[in-house]
Amino acid sequence: MDQHGRKVHHPPSSYQNHKRNKDYESVSVNPEHKRVRQSHPPHHGGSPPVSSASPCRALSTRRQLYEKDFPVYKQPVEVGSFSLDGERRFFNDARQMRYFVKPHPRPNFDLRDGYKDRFVKRDDGVKEKLDHILRWILANRSKLQSSVSAASSSPALGVDIVTWRGHLTKLLTTPYETQEGWLLAATLFRGTLYISEVETEASRHDRDNRTERHEEMMYWGYKFEQYLCADDIKGSPNPVGVVNTNEAFCTVVQTKLADHKLLFSGEVDCRDGGPEAPAAPACYIELKTSAEICTPKQRSNFHRFKLLKWWAQSFLPGVPRIVAGFRDPDGLVVGTETIQISKISHLIKNEYNCWKPTVCMNFCCEFLSFVRTVVREDNPRVVHLFSWDPHQDVTYSVHRDTTYCFLPPWYVEGMASSSNPPH
């Protein structure tokens, strides 16, 4: 991989040279970068992202509209973590944390090993929505609320948006996505907007019609993790153990994208357990597998498609590096490589008409502004369903007391019995 380290996607005006991680703004919002809610014209002409014919009804996803300065994105801060065990039970601790063990430069990992006889697969028909994050919030409410100002206009939790990192990843990649649409449900409750994904018909169809080969290849990523992770800081990986995809360690981070205060959680594969390792989330390592790159065309596709998703997923929580395993068609890992997230924008620079980090971040920011403008009724029983299909605008519909409701009664009641009365 390329070893140059120049940042190309962060404008000088929001770039803090003295900060250790230069990809993130870590001071308060620079007014120059504050997004004016939804009706301002874009820098490059054309129509504004929000359709002017019918104000607030649709949001454009055209890339050109988002080719502006990189928005202020504060360095993500880990505010907690939680674990899900082999039976998908929630624990308000880091018991599922795993430790990275550096692989041999030319490993011979067989990713097919254990698929038939040592694999416990999570039931992906069970929709957990935001439940694990909500459980974490209830258990750690005092931590979050302690930083809330007394201003009556501020949300009770002190954040504007609560969601999964994976949902934000989908938003970041939307301007470049040509295959899969999405449905995102949004509910405003006590001043905080909760965003939870709803499975599309197409995604449900794909899930119900996976080939045996596809099912097996989905296992390969988890098997790779098992080859590189130890359960204990001084332990070794156990490749003869069972792979159980119910198990997860999730970080909870807080950050700010322009004027949106975000709280989100994401699954983390492992951490660097060495004595020099930085504090979380900078110590975390994302593990990935990908097909071996043999031709210039394959390299170009890797840069254009895979690195976009990898970058978006890790940039959001401030995970600084990916360890990638390149495998042959039989699932044998032929090499591994460390990819620094901060160097990805440089790696892709020579690709013609390639994706741009600023477009991803600006679109996400505008989408959140759009949602906050549209969703005004503070009511856990109201869902605004935002819908997007490739080559279309984002549109929405409103649903009251339907199965789209995703804030469970235990959460709504738990928040009501909070020591802080509603504003």
Residues at the interface with ligand 0WD (CB under 6 A): 84, 122, 124, 127-128, 164-166, 169, 197, 221, 245, 248, 266-267, 288, 313
Residue 143: CB minimum distance to ligand 0WD, A: 21
Residue 325 binds: one of ligand 0WD, Ca ion, none (C-beta under 5 to 8 A by kind): none
- Interface residues toward Ca ion, by CB under 5 A: 269, 287
What are the E-state strand segments in 216-330? 229-230, 243-244, 248-257, 260-267, 270-271, 284-291, 321-327
CB 288 to Ca ion: min, Å:
5
Closer to ligand 0WD by Cβ: residue 14 or 289 = 289
Question: In terms of CB distance, is 267 or 351 closer to Ca ion?
Answer: 267
- CA proximity to 87, closest of 119, 134, 122: 122
**Closest approach of Cβ 44 to ligand 0WD, in Å?**
31
Instruction: Determine the Cα–Cα distance for residues 316 and 253; give it in Å rounded to an integer.
Output: 9
**Cβ 266 to ligand 0WD shortest distance, Å:** 3
Q: Do residues 243 and 223 make contact, with C-beta atoms less than 8 angstroms apart?
A: yes
Place of tokens 């359709």: 51
Task: Compare residues 60 and 226 and give the one whose CB is closer to Ca ion.
Answer: 226
198's contact among ligand 0WD, Ca ion, none, with CB below 5 to 8 A by partner kind, is: none
Q: Which token pair is 418?
A: 């909070």
Strand order in the sheet with 284-291: 229-230, 99-100, 270-271, 284-291, 321-327, 333-340
In the complex with ligand 0WD, the residue whose CB is nearer, 166 or 408, is 166
Backbone angles phi, psi at 167, to 5 degrees: -70, -40
In the bound state with Ca ion, the residue whose beta carbon lies nearer, of 35 and 223, is: 223
Q: Report how far apart, in Å, the C-alpha atoms of 318 and of each of 173, 192, 328, 364 are.
A: 17, 23, 30, 16
With CA atoms as reference, report the closest residue to 114 among 285, 238, 267, 287.
238
CB of 32 to ligand 0WD, least distance (A): 31
Work out the number of other CB atoms within 10 angstroms of the CB of residue 330.
Answer: 8
CB of 158 to Ca ion, least distance (A): 30
Nearer to ligand 0WD, 245 or 342 (CB): 245
137 vs 283 by CB, closer to Ca ion: 283
User: In whole angstroms, what is the distance from residue 13 CA to residue 58 CA?
Assistant: 31
Separation CA 188–CA 375 (nearest Å): 7
197 binds, options ligand 0WD, Ca ion, none, Cβ within 5 to 8 A by partner type: ligand 0WD
For residue 319, the minimal CB distance to Ca ion (Å) is 10
